[in-house]
Amino acid sequence: MGKGGSFHEARSASPQVPEDNNSHLLSPFQMGPLFKLSHRVVLAPVTRCRAINSIPQPSHVKFYSQRTTRGGLLITEANAVSPQAFGFPHSPGIFSEEQVKAWKKVVDAVHAKGGIIFCQLWHVGRASHTVYQPNGEAPISSTGKAISEEWSILMPGGSKAAYSSPRALSMSEIAAVVEEFRKAARNAMCAGFDGVEIHAAHGYLIDQFLKDGVNDRVDDYGGSLHKRCRFAMEVVEAVVGEIGAERTAIRVSPIIDHMGTTDSDPLALTSHLIGLLNSYPLAYLHLTEPRFTKEGLKDKGAEGEMTAAAMWKIVKEEYRGRVMRSGGYSRETAMEAVSSGSADMISFGRLFISNPDLPHRFAIEAKLTNYDRSTFYTHDQVVGYTDYPFCLHNSTSPNSESDQHVDYREEVYR
């Protein structure tokens, strides 16, 4: 089905080997046949709750344009693939004509400054509440088990509440959800995006199928590793078949237990999933590490660090494509990851929120602006969103309206 073969067929494709692997965080990188990056500093997908009634606003144009560099890669905040896919107030979608038209303005602004932008496709599954669901229905999932009350959901008015109990999808319903991802990928292309990233991480719908701490199914989508990976791979097949593998990426988090999404053997899951993904010459594989959930949760300490190290050993030895890492990286740790060959790119969320010219700041080793966590998920179109300052030393991008760009390929870094 599409490029790369089918999940149900023998896997004989030869994925691309990552190019220029042992390089510098700020050096160019060829991301597959289509995209020449000028550096490896990527804007991570960061939910900001500014898309009023699920429609991107003019502030989105400014936010993404501010963070654009010529040849730099941006990944959008997560976009719902259907009306059932929401779990945050005022998060965007990519399933309606109005949403597509609004995102096109963002894409056009990024392209005008020479940037590359991927749209992240999202279905939250059980990580939702009836208030976000059509007709107040129960959220859908791989399971009927609710998220523990240890976790809470952000409600439209800003308060917190318990997640609603989900309804397990029947086998006959799953194909329709896969189709929603395919249509969302097509819509992303209509909006002009360069590619899409499938969100299969952090306890959302695809992750709910992947991990046996949540997936308690006894049909063809539950039980063995292969069956638990089936939904994820059917989504990959559908998206690749629609837009091509070179424009498709996926984000996974095998060893993260966000929202209680655990697995009894996360390293085996990592290895099996990588084996399946190796059949597709994807744009990149985006992995997040336990540091994603470290703040505010119990730190797993040495045990968690050992698990993370073991996961990265598997990835380095077994995955034959391009790798993006994410999870609390600093300039120094990102430099180390790229120079060691364990990553081709590093995505930054919080640091990129508060430093719109983050690649330039890294290049000149400038001081970083601290982020304000209290403004992460408000609906203000300016405060905590587009009002973070640019570096005073950035003569080429002194403000968000500048049409000048740092040429990272011509600068020398030590």
Catalytic positions, written as ranges:
204
Phi and psi at 40, nearest 5°, equal: -105, 15
Measured CA angle at 292 (ends 127, 329), to 5 deg: 150
Residue 71: which residues within 8 A CB-CB, separation 6 or more? 28, 36, 37, 38, 39, 114, 115, 116, 408, 409
Number of CB atoms found within 10 A of residue 117's CB: 25
Q: What residue type is assigned to position 271 of the chain?
A: S
Are 188 and 117 within 8 A, CB to CB?
A: no
Which is it for strands 195-200 and 167-168: parallel, antiparallel or unpaired?
unpaired
Q: What residue type is assigned to position 47 of the chain?
A: T
Are 292 and 327 within 8 A, CB to CB?
A: yes
Biggest CA-to-CA distance, the chain: 60
CA distances (Å), 286 to each of 13, 27, 99, 319, in order?
20, 19, 25, 12
Are 386 and 62 within 8 A, CB to CB?
A: yes
The SS3 call for residue 346 is: strand
Q: Which of 244, 60, 82, 41 is nearest to 173 (CA)?
A: 82
CB half-sphere exposure, 21, CA atoms < 13 A:
13
Rounded to whole angstroms, the Cα distance separating 246 from 258 reads: 29
Structure tokens at 161: 């509440």
Q: What is the chain's alpha carbon radius of gyration, rounded to the nearest angstrom? A: 20
Rounded to whole angstroms, the Cα distance separating 195 from 22 reads: 25
User: How distant is the alpha carbon of residue 131 from its chain centre?
Assistant: 25
